[in-house]
Structure 1
Amino acid sequence: MKTTACIIHSLVCGVLVTGAGPAHADHNETVVLDPLEVTATRSATESNQRVPAVIESVTAQQIAETTNAATAAETIKYLPSLQVRERYIGDRNGIIASRTAGTLSSAQTLLYADGILLSNLLGNSFAYPPRWGMVSPEEIQQVDVMYGPYSSLYAGNSMGGVVNIQTRMPQKFEAHANMQWFTQRFDLYGTKQNNEGKHASASVGNRINDLSFWLGVDHLDTWGQPMQFAVATATTGGAGTAVTGAYRDVSEKGVSRLVFGAYGIDHSVQDNLKLKLAYDISPSLQARYTVGLWQLDSDTRVDSYLRTASGAAFYNGNVSIGGNTYSVRGLNPTAANSVHLMQALQLQSKADGGWQWQLGLSDYRYNRDESRTSTANNPTLSSVGTVQDMQGTGWTAADAQGTLSRGAHQMDVGYHIDHYALRSVTDNASDWSSATTTTRNSASRGDTMTQALYVQDAWRFAPRWKLTAGGRYEDWRAWNGQNQATVGGSLQTSDYADKQEHAFSPKLALSFEPEPAWGFNAALGRAYRFPTVSELFQSITSGSNLVQGNPDLQPERVLSAELSAERRFAKGYLRATLFQENKHDALISQTVTNGVSACGSATCSFIQNVDLVRTRGIELATQWQDVFVHGLDLGGSLTMTEAEILRNSANPDTEGNRPPRIPNAVAKAVATYHQGQALTYSLALRYSGRQYTYLDNSDSNPDTYGGASHFFFADVRMAYKFADRWTAALGVDNLNNDKAYVFHPYPQRTAFAQLKFDY
């Protein structure tokens, strides 16, 4: 991974490096270098005009050498502080977590691909992850990450960071094909599986005079391990069916419980077809058009451990075990079908007399998005269920930006607007598998729009000093809010009043480079994160937990600061960063402990504002080339975090607790050895420390299903270029087979095999 000292991204760092770079070889080999052009060697502290904070990057070559990546989400897993909650290969709920944002805070980081917004800001939960499926890992050229809300070019959702994916556009004819196979042996409670899958991609591209194009297709067919288990910690009244087969263990809260079966065992097929066009209208103006089509077919099955006296499987209802009666819920299959369409049109000028500009318009639309769920006590005998339809949901974003470079100044000015629309209807069904619907069960709808004006000036007021100052004014409104829910057997409708807020977010950063080997940077930024349409208006049920929307939410307000020092050497760097975020009115779901009629028998949570959450810590990062022996590269990072709820008037008992899903430590290390030009070996280690799932920190036993556990994963990979244009790779993730949990179980040991062709 590269830091701000390793400058290869022309947009972010202001320099251009092309070619494959130096090849590693044994001392007795002849080394043939690919063409290499270096047009600048300034440090990032000197040249990084646009992003006034820490940036870390990973390149396509590093991904190919170190990472068993079947999805784009997996390509960033070794970057400092970052974690993607990809619970299995192909998981659509891959939330990005960073220094200050947890694995359920999907609206607190931003994801872009070639300037196209892929963050799903319809919600702030597991249900609204970035749209990773629109990017194939094989098309990625580089990924850059900015930590924190320090640039006025980005919305307040950047409080956790901004991930920018840059994909490849061909300069001559090229063709690529990739095939991966992977398998996971999963063993937990009564579930023992061999989960296999495959990933295939192919692309072709060329540049013909002023037109360049890239056409790619990506296919992923994968099985996941169970995501949830039917459990009970207390007995219920009434008689039950006598059964055997339950497993006994201890819950995340330290309470003895029974485990009755597994569900959420997903088999999904995902396809992505993508076309990118770029046309040079003139020597100083380029137009780009991108269109992507993502399709999903998913089925989840269940695995009941329970057997009646006749040997038949038991799924849902009251059971009698050891003289006690328990309620079994959740063992219901589901299915989903989706077709999403993304389009983007961009115009960009090239530098002309110090002035350049760009315009962008993008749209992401749920053309089809249907989720079907069985609700029958015995899904093998009855087909009743529900069907959720989110057709028409999506977002549109437009940007206009100009950049003026004049003397010691580089100034950015711009305008942004986005519109997010939620359309969700759930109907009861007489046959859930065929989507034969009957009556309305529930519905949610609403719209949000944010408009922003921003300015930022990077002023090099002295040869070794740079001051970056900026501000972002945002106007936000929500309207058309409506929620329907079945309460007491009848459908009730709630219409919500329109809301409007506006805010100004100042930014300030100062960098100092006393000599090329040293760089120092201090950054301060305020940001506002407005409530998403889902947090305002939608109720979401996950298993037995109901999360209620709240139309009275206030925006999150953060004040973030970081102080960095970096020491650069001929073959590497060391960086230390202190950071702190004070988050006012933090938007977090809080569990209701007393009875609420709208919740029925489910555990009920409401999205509420927590008055003040403070997160602070230190991040250390390093990267080295040719360490000890020629061809050995080492990199690593350590992030130590202290997060605390300082004030919570809605639930004072939680004051002094840690907020959910912020681990106290995240550590990573990657070693890559190049044996000549054709063969590389990689070993990567990932560690995550103590964190909590519940706001009251009652999960005292985190290393089990339902908890957010420690984990330590060792990943290995070997890539061999065995012939011209042909590469084979073998790898294993979680080689040590650590059984870890992020409420759901993480993947156990998973083996990979890959074959690639590049022309």
Structure 2
Amino acid sequence: MRTLTLRIAFVLTAAVGAFGQAGEVRVIIRDTAGRQVVNAAAEVKTADGTARPCGSMAEGFVCRIEPGERVSVSASGFAAVEQTLSSEALASGEMNIVLEPAGLRETVVVSAERSEARLGDSPVSIAVLGRVALERTAAPTLDDALRQVPGFSTFRRSSSRNSNPTTQGVSLRGVGASGASRTAVLFDGVAINDPFGGWVQWNRISPLAVEQVEVVRGGASSLYGSGSLSGTVTIEPRSTREPFAFSGEFSAGTQETLSAAGFLGTNYRSWFADINFGRLQTEGYVPVSSEDRGPIDEAAGVRSVNLSGRFGKRFGESGSLFVRPSYFSEDRTNGTPLQRNQTHSRGIIAGGRFERAAGKLGTEFRAFGGTQVYDQTFTAVAAARDAETLSRLQSSPSQNAGLSVRVFTLLGAHSLGAGFELREVRGSSDEVGYFGGNPTSLLGTGGRERSFGVYVQDVFAWGSRAVVAGSVRYDCWANSRGLSATRSLATGITTATIFPDREEDALSPRLSVLYRITPELSLNGSASRSFRAPTLNELYRGFRVGNIVTNANADLRAERAASFEGGASFARGPVYLRGTGFFTEIDRTVANVTLTVTPSLITRQRQNAGKTRSAGFELDAEFRISRLTLNAGYLFADSRITEFPSNPSLVDRFIPQVPRHQFTFQARYAARRWDLGLQGRAAGRQFDDDQNQFRLGAFFQLDGLLNIRVNEDLGMFLAAENIFNSRYPVGLTPLSTIAAPASVRLGIRWK
């Protein structure tokens, strides 16, 4: 008996001794479906609250753990986990951690409000699309993925794959857009809105290169200045902390579509680098409806290439520096033999971030610049659509450069920030005018814009129940060297108009409040003023779409908006609900106003069109149960012209291209070896023109994607867009153009 007792005591002593010693443990991280979670981070939390990173390996991490320490694991889209090492894990040398999907309130907003905050702690309306949601979207372009956010819309309903880039201006909450966006789109902290025209070339960024997209709905000029009149879209680029990481995707499908994208990242000691590349080509489809189609109508498609890299160095945990060069090129067919456009752009971003002490004092900056050339042909099409002749050849070169600096700190319950931005844009439009198929004139227009903005921000946690966020920004800008010159090729006579230099400024405040009635139920409200300065394109460059000519206007002034919103949110377990009512009034709205109408030509001009108003509400819902995730959203927006002194007949007309009703839903089911995603969106009627004569009917579109995992790294997918082949109208000029037919893609994806 004594011998048995001694043996038991010896075994227990050995076990306790082993557990009391430091050991290396392999940490394996998987999701609830048993799949490995990529791009996770693991660290060891010590007893005194400090942390040290774990070493990465092919299938997880290696952590050296002392007695009393815990392993902390986090990953985008998942709830963070802290776990104490068990004696079994120490004995086996392996620790398995399962990550649960994060509730919507737990998603981290990295930069949408220029400060880190949990989504549930933000008093403004923010929609988030993570990498998992993007990977389960059937569409291969970012703009089509973002159409799942209620209120997000481009100038026209059609995808960026099949439409002119000048129709891809973005707006939120029904304020409307022309070619220029009323929403700023940022990538890595720098606006990617076209510096000359304000539209967005969505093919510049492959979804594979994106970690997360945050959509701030409501005026945000108090932080981002001009362009954020209706909100801000912040795109966080993908990165990795692993020694080596690669992701790639290739697909082929109908309409002679080929798509390829890749991400390559590496870390060596304190150095890091990553490269993103993408290629998309599609023959497209014939956009003109069958009843209006003629012999000259052909498919509208695109071929594009994007390439960007990030190369930098970390300085311990205190900061980093990087440089990001980029290149983008695309060639488009626009539906007839002679209508073409192409873009070539090059850019560079140099930036960094430094923190003196965690949360105490830090700064980050971006210096950026780029060049671009946008070329386009315009034609006049015969009424029978059996012939077309050149009417204009146009080349629009532009250059831009800028700098932004932000300083931030924590002071008690206050998160403080301040910064400034400056930018210069130079642009021109060089044209050859044609008549009867022969060149008749040379036209050159252009100018410069210099802008400067400075802002301050305070986010105050008032106890455990309330969050108060306030910010104010002052902007000033100047347009100079505006010129329009025309030379007749027949006579050699040149006429020139020199536009006077001019300056404007704007003050943009915002105050937002969040109050938690209970841990599950919160109320929120916000009031702000915002603005949008006219682009050089609106001031100096005209354009033609079909038989509609839109002239520039060098006398345009900045749009000014006042916005108010209020709502409530509820979160409990797997359920999240949010409802927000909003009211936005825009003064001096820039609109394409019809001047004359003839059977063969409609002439419009950009004008400050009095006042417009967008009022309504939005609803968001999310429900998660086991492996199923359901999202739905609805937007009601009553958007009208409320004042127009120069043309009172337009008062109470609906704002063009804005439906009153929008509905979206997404469903994702993740099994161990496969997953399925469905995306649906619907919109009510809208009008294509300011006089509400050209009505575009309601529509519904359903997309789906099935992904099958061959192994941990390799998967195959089948994507189907417009499953029910809904050929809804996207334009009426008065020529009727329609949406793309049903299409499928088959592809492979590595990690």
Q: Which band: TM-score by shorter chain?
A: 0.7 to 0.9
Residue in 1 that maps onto 2:246: 175
C-alpha separation in 2, matches of 1:77 and 1:633:
18
Residue deviations 1:465-498 (CA, integer Å, cap 9, x gap): 2222221111011111122457897764322111
Aligned to 1:659: 655
1:73 aligned counterpart, secondary structure: helix
- Aligned to 1:736, which of 716, 724, 727? 724
Tell me the distance in 1 between the aligned counterparts of 2:604 and 2:551: 6
| In structure 1, distance between residues paired with 2:401 and 2:106 | 38
Match of 1:648 in 2: 644
Distance 1:720 1:260 in 2: 43
- SS for the counterpart of 1:89 is coil
Indicate which of 721, 725, 750 corresponds to 2:743: 750
Counterpart pick for 2:276 among 196, 216, 237: 216
Deviations 1:121-159 (Å, cap 9, x if unpaired)?
533xxxx52132321111111110101114621114212
Moved more, 347-356 or 409-418: 347-356
In structure 2, distance between residues paired with 1:47 and 1:16: 17
Match of 1:255 in 2: none
**Residue 443 of structure 1 aligns with which residue?**
444
Q: 548, 552, 561: which is aligned to 1:549?
A: 552
How far apart are the structure 1 equivalents of 2:355 and 2:582?
36
1:187 is matched with none
Change (3 A) 1:381 1:71: closer
State the 1:569 CA deviation.
1.1
* Residues 117, 362 of structure 1: 8 Å contact kept: no
For 2:104 and 2:589, the matched residues in 1 are separated by 43
- 1:261 deviates by 4.5
1:63 and 2:134 aligned: yes
> Is the alpha carbon distance of 1:536 and 1:453 closer, same or farther for their aligned partners in structure 2, counting shifts above 3 Å?
same
Does 2:331 align with 1:297?
Answer: yes
Q: In structure 2, which of residues 106, 109, 125 is the aligned counterpart of residue 54 of structure 1?
A: 125
Label 1:198 to 1:403 Cα distance change in 2 as closer, same or farther (>3 A): same
Q: Distance in 1 between matches of 2:344 and 2:173?
A: 33
Taking the TM superposition and a 5 Å limit, the aligned residue runs for 1:192-271 are 195-228=255-288, 260-261=294-295, 263=297, 265-271=299-305
1:494 aligns with 2:497: yes
Deviation at 1:51, TM superposition (A): 6.1
Q: Give the 3-state SS of the residue equivalent to 1:653 in structure 2.
A: helix
- SS at the partner of 1:350? strand
Match of 2:676 in 1: 681
Summarize the alignment of residues 523-602 of structure 1 with structure 2, pairs less than 5 Å apart: 523-593=526-596, 602=601
Give the stretch that moved more between structures: 101-110 or 647-656.
101-110
Q: Partner amino acid for 2:264?
A: V
Whole-angstrom CA distance in 1 between matches of 2:725 and 2:133: 24
| Structure 1 pair 40–286 and aligned structure 2 pair: CA distance change class (3 A) | farther
Deviations 1:697-736 (A, max 9, x none): 122xx3xxxxx33110011211111223111111211111
Q: Residues 121 and 202 (structure 1 numbering): CA distance in 2 closer, same or farther, change over 3 Å?
A: closer
| SS of equivalent residue, structure 2 residue 227 | helix
- Residues 1:281 and 2:315 aligned together: yes
C-alpha separation between the residues in 2 aligned to 1:22 and 1:511?
Answer: 23
* Residue number in structure 2 paired with 1:407: 412
Letter of the 1:620 counterpart: L
Please name the residue that 1:397 is paired with: 402
What is the rounded CA distance, in whole Å, between the counterparts of 1:358 and 1:683 in structure 2? 39
* Aligned partners of 2:168 and 2:179 also within 8 Å: no
Q: Per the alignment, do residues 454 and 50 of structure 1 end up closer, same or farther by CA in structure 2, a change over 3 Å counting?
A: farther
Give 2:605's aligned residue.
606
SS in 2 for 1:576: strand
Cα gap change, 1:635 to 1:613, in 2 (>3 Å):
same
**Once the two structures are superposed, what CA deviation does each residue of 1:5-36 show, in whole Å capped at 9, x if it has no partner?**
xxx999xxxx994167499xxxxxxx975568
The answer to whether the 8 A contact 2:276-2:308 is kept is yes
The code of the aligned residue for 2:208 comes to: E
**Contact 1:22/1:33, CA 8 A, preserved across alignment:** no
Give the whole-Å Cα distance in 2 for the aligned partners of 1:152 and 1:623: 30
| 1:129 corresponds to | 199
Residue 351 of structure 1: how far off its partner (Å): 5.8
Aligned position for 2:161: 89
- d(CA) in 1 for partners of 2:107, 2:130: 18
**Structure 1 counterpart of 2:312, which letter?**
A
2:194 alignment partner in structure 1: 120
SS at match of 1:107: coil
Q: Which whole-Å deviations, capped at 9, do the CAs of 1:31-61 have from their partners, x for residues lacking one?
A: 9755689999879898569964111101111
- Mean alpha-carbon deviation: is it higher for 744-753 or for 291-300? 291-300
Q: Percent identity?
A: 18
> Does structure 1 conserve the Cα–Cα contact (< 8 Å) formed by 2:297 and 2:385?
no
Distance 1:751 1:430 in 2: 42
Query: Could you tell which deviates more after superposition, 48-57 or 354-363?
Result: 48-57
1:130-145 equivalent positions in 2, closer than 5 A: 130-145=200-215
> CA distance change for structure 1 residues 9 and 341 in 2, over 3 Å: closer, same or farther?
farther
Decide whether aligned partners of structure 1 residues 660 and 380 sit closer, same or farther in structure 2, where only a CA change above 3 A counts.
Answer: closer
> 1:150 and 1:423 mapped to 2: Cα distance?
29
Conserved 8 A contact 1:470-1:506: yes
Counterparts of 1:470 and 1:81, CA distance in 2: 24
**Hey, what's the Cα distance between the residues in 2 that align with 1:515 and 1:226?**
55
Structure 1 equivalent of residue 460 of structure 2: 459
Change (3 A) 1:662 1:428: closer
What is aligned with 1:508?
Answer: 511
Larger mean CA deviation between 542-551 and 636-645 belongs to 542-551
C-alpha change, 1:63 and 1:41, in structure 2 (3 Å) is closer
Query: Judging changes above 3 Å, is the alpha-carbon distance between structure 1 residues 150 and 297 closer, same or farther for their aligned structure 2 residues?
Result: closer
Could you tell me which runs of 5 or more consecutive residues in structure 2 were left unpaired when the two chains were aligned. Answer: 1-38, 42-71, 81-94, 110-116, 732-736
Aligned residues of 2:125 and 2:217 also touching (Cα < 8 A): yes
The 3-state SS of whatever aligns with 1:593 is strand
Contact (CA 8 Å) 2:404, 2:421: kept in 1 or not? Answer: yes
Contact 2:222 2:529 in 1 (8 A): no
Task: State which drifts further: 537-546 or 206-215.
Answer: 537-546
Question: How has the CA–CA distance of structure 1 residues 622 and 160 changed in structure 2, closer, same or farther, with 3 Å as cutoff?
Answer: same
Determine the structure 1 residue equivalent to 2:688: 693
Equivalent AA in structure 1 for residue 273 of structure 2? F
Q: Which has the higher contact order (CA 8 A, sep 6+)?
A: 1
CA contact 1:357–1:401 (8 Å) conserved in 2: yes
In structure 2, do the counterparts of structure 1 residues 58 and 614 end up closer, same or farther at CA, with 3 Å as the change threshold? same
TM-score (norm 1): 0.79
Greater CA radius of gyration, 1 or 2? 2
Q: 1:740 to 1:487 in 2, by over 3 A?
A: farther
Contact in 2 for aligned 1:263/1:333 (Cα 8 Å):
no
Give the counterpart letter for 2:635 in structure 1.
T
Residue-by-residue CA offset, 1:352-371 (whole Å, 9 max, x unaligned) = 251111111112311x4333
Aligned to 1:714: 702
Uncovered stretches (5+) of structure 1, i.e. residues with no partner: 1-7, 24-30, 184-194, 230-246, 250-257, 303-331, 703-707
Decide whether aligned partners of structure 1 residues 439 and 612 sit closer, same or farther in structure 2, where only a CA change above 3 A counts.
Answer: closer
| 3-state SS of 2:193 partner | coil
Q: Is the 8 A contact 2:222 2:530 kept in 1?
A: no
Please tell me whether residue 158 in structure 1 is matched to residue 228 in structure 2: yes
Aligned position for 1:420: 425
Q: Which residue of 2 aligns with 1:309?
A: none
SS of the residue corresponding to residue 749 of structure 2 reads: strand
User: TM-score, normalization: structure 2?
Assistant: 0.79
